[in-house]
């Protein structure tokens, strides 16, 4: 069940609040691979709805892989061709190479960021949330998506597991529907921007080198964040013994003075969007 409630946590920003979107999950916790899939789907949604990629992320990945396979096939010596067929072959090869070049920087950026996220999830025992920022810089973003995840403590499994669970699909669909209902991505296209990813973890954790601590992370108070809380079913009334508070009442914004000392870690990889009118066929 999706519900909206008021919230005063801004993930570093202030200004008018949109309220907190709550996505209820009928499970005690999400596995690493499930958290990864949900974040990936939300990331793809943000990029597509804000016109930073020409098609939904899954189609974009599939089409790019097909282009690379086609290019590999075309690098093999062709059979003896008539001059007219050879010209057509060369033209087609140049077109495929051009389409790959047009998409390569974007796809490499997406791949690097997602791989870094998988590695980070595999190396930490817990994660409290992620934030997706779209804009020219972290301090002056255009859009902010602050996503709290609970229960975000992992016991086993890897983020790199290829099997996609029904729970992961259900949660990602539910979260995207909640964002759509709130009007996410409905604002005018503002041109190519960068997407930044940060994860919220205890400052004592040693994340991979792809993530850098941002202890005093703040962004412009003029930005109104869209906040979401993905709540697992067993957290109601559950006491977090490590932090000494009920998980459901744990603040979504923390500071150095908090008992848990939770801070943001920024992924050094960013995704640079391409012009909204671009397409794989272009």
Give me the residue spans of the domains in the chain.
Answer: 2-272
Query: Which position has the higher pLDDT, 83 or 270?
Result: 270
pLDDT given for residue 280 in this prediction: 41
- Its pTM stands at 0.79
What CA–CA distance (Å, rounded) separates 243 from 248?
12
Phi, psi of 271 (to 5 degrees): -110, 120
Asked if residue 120 lies in contact with residue 178, where contact means CB atoms within 8 angstroms, the answer is no
pLDDT at 239 over 70: no
pLDDT given for residue 254 in this prediction: 35
User: Residue 231: left (phi > 0), alpha (psi -120 to 50), or beta?
Assistant: beta
Neighbours of 153 (CB within 10 A): 15
pLDDT given for residue 86 in this prediction: 80
Highest mean pLDDT among 149-153, 214-218, 232-236, 262-266: 262-266
pLDDT at 14 over 90: no
Asked if residue 263 lies in contact with residue 39, where contact means CB atoms within 8 angstroms, the answer is no
Phi, psi of 163 (to 5 degrees): -65, 125
Mean of pLDDT over the chain: 79
**Top-tier CATH class for 2-272:** alpha beta
User: Residue 183: left (phi > 0), alpha (psi -120 to 50), or beta?
Assistant: left
Query: Which position has the higher pLDDT, 226 or 5?
Result: 226
What CA–CA distance (Å, rounded) separates 279 from 260?
45
Q: Band the pLDDT of 50: cuts 50, 70, 90.
A: very high
Asked if residue 174 lies in contact with residue 230, where contact means CB atoms within 8 angstroms, the answer is no
- Quote the strand ranges of 160-253, DSSP E: 194-202, 211-214, 226-232, 239-240, 245-246
What CA–CA distance (Å, rounded) separates 50 from 220?
20
Interval 271-280 mean pLDDT: 67
The residue length of the chain stands at 282
pLDDT given for residue 276 in this prediction: 56
Helix, strand, coil abundance in the chain, percent, nearest 5: 35, 20, 40
Interval 155-181 mean pLDDT: 89
pLDDT at 92 over 90: no
């Amino acid at each position: 069940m999706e519900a909206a409630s008021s919230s005063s946590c801004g993930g570093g920003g202030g200004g008018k609040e949109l309220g907190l979107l709550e996505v209820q999950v009928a499970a005690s916790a999400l596995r690493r691979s499930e958290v990864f899939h949900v974040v990936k789907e939300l990331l793809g949604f943000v990029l597509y709805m804000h016109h930073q990629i020409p098609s939904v992320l899954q189609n974009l990945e599939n089409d790019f892989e097909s282009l690379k396979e086609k290019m590999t096939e075309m690098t093999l010596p062709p059979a003896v061709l008539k001059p007219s067929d050879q010209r057509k072959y060369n033209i087609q090869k140049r077109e495929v190479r051009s389409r790959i070049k047009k998409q390569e920087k974007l796809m490499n950026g997406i791949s690097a960021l997602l791989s870094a996220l998988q590695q980070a999830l595999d190396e930490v025992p817990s994660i409290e949330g992620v934030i997706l920022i779209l804009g020219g810089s972290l301090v002056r973003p255009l859009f902010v998506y602050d996503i709290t995840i609970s229960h975000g403590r992992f016991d086993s499994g890897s983020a790199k597991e290829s099997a996609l669970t029904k729970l992961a699909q259900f949660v990602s669909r539910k979260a995207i529907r909640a964002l759509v209902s709130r009007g996410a991505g409905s604002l005018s296209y503002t041109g190519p921007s960068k997407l930044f990813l940060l994860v919220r973890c205890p400052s004592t954790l040693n994340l991979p080198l792809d993530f850098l601590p941002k202890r005093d992370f703040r962004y412009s108070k003029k930005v109104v964040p869209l906040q979401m809380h993905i709540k697992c079913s067993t957290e109601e009334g559950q006491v977090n013994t490590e932090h000494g508070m009920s998980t459901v009442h744990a603040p979504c914004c923390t500071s150095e003075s908090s008992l848990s000392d939770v801070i943001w870690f920024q992924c050094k990889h960013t995704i640079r969007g391409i012009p909204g009118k671009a397409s794989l066929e272009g």
